[in-house]
Structure 1
Amino acid sequence: MGAFKTGEYRNLFREIGKSDEEISAKIKESVQTFFYDDNERIYHEAGEDMGYFTDTGNNDARTEGMSYGMMMCVQLDMKEEFDRIWKWSKTYMYMDEGENEGYFAWSCQTNGKKNAYGPAPDGEEFYAMALFFASHRWGDGEGIFNYSREARNILSACLHKGENSRPGAPMWNRENGQILFVPGCPHTDPSYHLPHFYELFALWANEEDREFFARAAKVSREYLVKACHKDTGLSPEYGNFDGTPMDKQLPWGQFGDFFSDAYRTAANIGLDAIWFGEDCGQLGVPLKMMKFFGTDLEAVRCAYKVDGTPLERPVLHPLGLLATIAQGALAIDNPGAKADGSDNDKAGADFETARKWVEWFWNQPLRKGERRYYDNCLYMFALLALSGNYRIY
């Protein structure tokens, strides 16, 4: 039974022996560095009432990072920063005409000029979830700060574009219930599948959309079982609707292997385990990954095919990979923490495997340098989730 029903959030750091004082200090230091350190921050204020997240490797602002930033801010009770990021998003990224009206341009220059006029669905789903949480934590305001209305409008566009003479294509395949890599495309991205979000959309979206999101939650859990390799647990960056890795060569490369996007899948499964605990078989994935990578952190230094075949391709985001695997530990029970004191050899050994990854993560600092954006976003989410601070509001 998950936190949605119990209201109880697991603190894995405490389970491995960290004190509440140590945990609070680590979060405080990480937030200070991530948001405010002049040399290492990702967040920047713009004018009197806006702000943005920078992809430091590409010197742009992306809906991925902007929506991630809003989710972090609502979890951390940072309303001013939340509102600044949201206003920047609506001012510069939102598209109010054309084929993609109702969506957000996935990349903008830091001065607000759009680099592209296409959206990325992971941004829209994080925007919507963060806005619902903001509504419930702080209350709805006026205009664009009527958070719940804005969230419902985003989800309505995601499902209904292309209907009733509305231009463009939806972000979900309405027939099979799966989120798409980009609107209208014939494949998905396993790391975009967020059943724990869809469970809540099924409660808070427009009435006409709730049944779809309830189905999408079930569909996504079942899809993840097929998309994550039965032995290694690895998922591809892009996948076919049947769960097989996409084998088409796209103009910007081949994406059927376990690489940067795919790291997020384990983290998503871990958070779903804590929020809802519904298991279609996907909750076993993070342990498979931990066992595949073993006890040598050097194993996270190269890319792989989903069957575990190593590739001559270095990992761009090793800290991000470590962080997401550690967050996946939330799907692994700690038998020693059971109220009845139950234990068995296998469960105990599995938790010891998880403990190692969480300890490795605990001992890692935020990444420095120009590639720090993606790694440190995933780091911050893992830090919140593993401390019991990534919550439903």
Structure 2
Amino acid sequence: MTNLRGSFHTGQYRNLFKEYGYSEQEINERVKQTWEALFEGDEDTRIYYDAGDDMGYFMDTGNNDVRTEGQSYAMMVAVQMNRKDIFDRVWRWTHKYMFMTEGANAGYFAWSCQLDGTKNAYGPAPDGEEYFALALLFASHRWGDGEAPLDYSVQARELLRVIIHKGEDGIGHPMWNPDNKLIKFIPNCEYSDPSYHLPHYYELFALWAYPEDRPFWKDAARASREYLKISCHPVTGLAPEYAHYDGTPNNERGFGHFFSDSYRVAANVGLDYEWFRGDEWEIEEANKIQAFFADKTPDDYRRYTIAGEPFEEKSLHPVGLLATNAMASLAANGPHAKASVELFWNTPVRTGGRRYYDNCLYMFSMLALSGNYRIWMPQA
């Protein structure tokens, strides 16, 4: 490995494609092609759509709706690719149609809307909010703040305040448990989703949130790293989709196994190690996940117990799974790191009705493995 310290400290980002023998030219072209497939491609690959003169959205092609997950992903990708035009379009749509101003969830974003902006639900999903916050902070640092709602840093700090203080006046619930500092699956529940845990984001919130909120985010980063250790299986490395605060799988609704949400854990572990060298355990975790899938082909990916026992049900998003397994190579030092990256490189973006989730994860992995998923610091 190159960096002895994380990218936050060194300003250096590993380009694993280059380390494994691909040329700068073909890497840059592949990143460009992936962006074009998702944002400008034909109806078999694209998931981004303009809306009106100045708005846009990522469409969940499997459910024909717009989700905070996708909108926040689109914004993070756009800021990494220096596409302020797309970022602003997506944020305007999000702010206009998804932001809630009334009721117990005021200050949050409705997790699902129809393509015309009509809300499908009036509840939020915390993974969207945490991605919105950091994407907005990066946008502020990269491009500077504009007029509301493009006053990115103001929007971000207000959101970071709401998601941890909501409910202190007796109305609504926070997105993080105030005692254990763990993110919830939804605000009005008391369990978590391991794939929501982004300690590398919280480290940055601890620098750029309102000063009074910064200690909370520092504690949340530590708590999340410890939580991942107890929610990921000690042998396979697999995490459940939902887990109790003690790390045990929460299978009350059938989500206590390794399935679609869980795939993001590998990517998050890889990026936390790249940015902050968050915990040496992350090396072991990445190695275990890659070892588990080393003898399996994408056609054979399935739902698994976290102990690795397969179900008959096949993976709905095999391309997303192999993409996140490749992103784990930012932390891995085992025998499967290179093969995981090569499998990803040799796999095209997904086409067809279920392409949305796969291709979001694909784009993040393409950015991360090429050294283009970066921390954007405040301008001097």
Same topology, TM > 0.5 = yes
Task: Please give the residue correspondences for 1:359-378 in structure 2 after superposition, counting only pairs within 5 Å.
Answer: 359-378=342-361
The whole-number CA distance in structure 2 between the counterparts of 1:143 and 1:195 is 29
**Contact 2:241–2:258 (Cα < 8 Å) also in 1:** yes
Is 1:116 matched with 2:121?
A: yes
Note the alpha carbon deviations across 1:210-261, whole angstroms, 9 max, x for none: 000000000100110111100000000000101111132x3xxx10000000
Q: Given the alignment, which residue of 175, 182, 189 partners 1:178?
A: 182
The whole-number CA distance in structure 1 between the counterparts of 2:36 and 2:288 is 34
Cα deviation, residue 184, structure 1: 2.6
The whole-number CA distance in structure 2 between the counterparts of 1:88 and 1:199 is 28
Note the alpha carbon deviations across 1:330-358, whole angstroms, 9 max, x for none: 0024xxxxxxxxxxxxxxxx2x4100010
TM-score (norm 1): 0.93
Aligned-pair identity in percent equals 57
Task: Please give the residue correspondences for 1:237-276 in structure 2 after superposition, counting only pairs within 5 Å.
Answer: 237-248=241-252, 250=253, 254-276=254-276
**Contact 1:245–1:257 (Cα < 8 Å) also in 2:** yes
Note the alpha carbon deviations across 1:76-107, whole angstroms, 9 max, x for none: 00000000000000000000111100000000
Task: Please give the residue correspondences for 1:183-194 in structure 2 after superposition, counting only pairs within 5 Å.
Answer: 183-194=187-198
Task: Please give the residue correspondences for 1:373-392 in structure 2 after superposition, counting only pairs within 5 Å.
Answer: 373-392=356-375
Q: Partner of 1:93 in structure 2?
A: 98
Note the alpha carbon deviations across 1:361-387, whole angstroms, 9 max, x for none: 000000000000000000000000000
Cα deviation, residue 38, structure 1: 2.9
- The residue type paired with residue 357 of structure 1 is S
Q: What is the aligned length? A: 371
Q: Which moved more, 1:232-241 or 1:35-44?
A: 35-44
Q: Partner of 1:31 in structure 2?
A: 35
Note the alpha carbon deviations across 1:153-190, whole angstroms, 9 max, x for none: 1111101111134x210000000010000003110000
Cα deviation, residue 292, structure 1: 1.2
Cα deviation, residue 207, structure 1: 1.1
Q: Partner of 1:71 in structure 2?
A: 76
Note the alpha carbon deviations across 1:99-131, whole angstroms, 9 max, x for none: 100000000000000000000000000000000
Task: Please give the residue correspondences for 1:20-59 in structure 2 after superposition, counting only pairs within 5 Å.
Answer: 20-39=24-43, 40-59=45-64
- The residue type paired with residue 225 of structure 1 is K
TM-score (norm 2): 0.96
Note the alpha carbon deviations across 1:180-213, whole angstroms, 9 max, x for none: 0000311000000000000000000111110000
Q: Which moved more, 1:122-131 or 1:22-31?
A: 22-31
**Contact 2:282–2:331 (Cα < 8 Å) also in 1:** no
Cα deviation, residue 299, structure 1: 7.2
Q: Partner of 1:282 in structure 2?
A: 282
The alpha-carbon distance between structure 1 residues 171 and 262, as it changes in their structure 2 partners (threshold 3 A), is same
Note the alpha carbon deviations across 1:270-325, whole angstroms, 9 max, x for none: 00011000215233211101111223315752110000111121100000000000
Is 1:105 matched with 2:110?
A: yes
- The residue type paired with residue 318 of structure 2 is P
Is 1:201 matched with 2:178?
A: no
- The residue type paired with residue 271 of structure 1 is L
Return structure 1 stretches of 4+ with deviation > 3 angstroms.
none
- The residue type paired with residue 114 of structure 2 is Q
Long gaps (5+) in structure 1: 334-349
Q: Partner of 1:336 in structure 2?
A: none
The whole-number CA distance in structure 1 between the counterparts of 2:280 and 2:190 is 24
Is 1:221 matched with 2:204?
A: no
The alpha-carbon distance between structure 1 residues 134 and 372, as it changes in their structure 2 partners (threshold 3 A), is same
Q: Partner of 1:152 in structure 2?
A: 157
Q: Given the alignment, which residue of 130, 136, 141 partners 1:131?
A: 136
Q: Partner of 1:211 in structure 2?
A: 215
- The residue type paired with residue 245 of structure 1 is P
Note the alpha carbon deviations across 1:29-88, whole angstroms, 9 max, x for none: 111111011322110001110001000000000000000000000000000000000000
Is 1:354 matched with 2:337?
A: yes
The whole-number CA distance in structure 1 between the counterparts of 2:298 and 2:10 is 39
**Contact 1:224–1:282 (Cα < 8 Å) also in 2:** no
**Contact 1:300–1:321 (Cα < 8 Å) also in 2:** no
Q: Partner of 1:168 in structure 2?
A: 172
Q: Partner of 1:344 in structure 2?
A: none
Is 1:17 matched with 2:5?
A: no
Q: Partner of 2:319 in structure 1?
A: 319
**Contact 1:293–1:300 (Cα < 8 Å) also in 2:** no
Q: Partner of 1:345 in structure 2?
A: none
The whole-number CA distance in structure 2 between the counterparts of 1:186 and 1:200 is 25
The whole-number CA distance in structure 1 between the counterparts of 2:222 and 2:113 is 34
The whole-number CA distance in structure 1 between the counterparts of 2:280 and 2:224 is 10
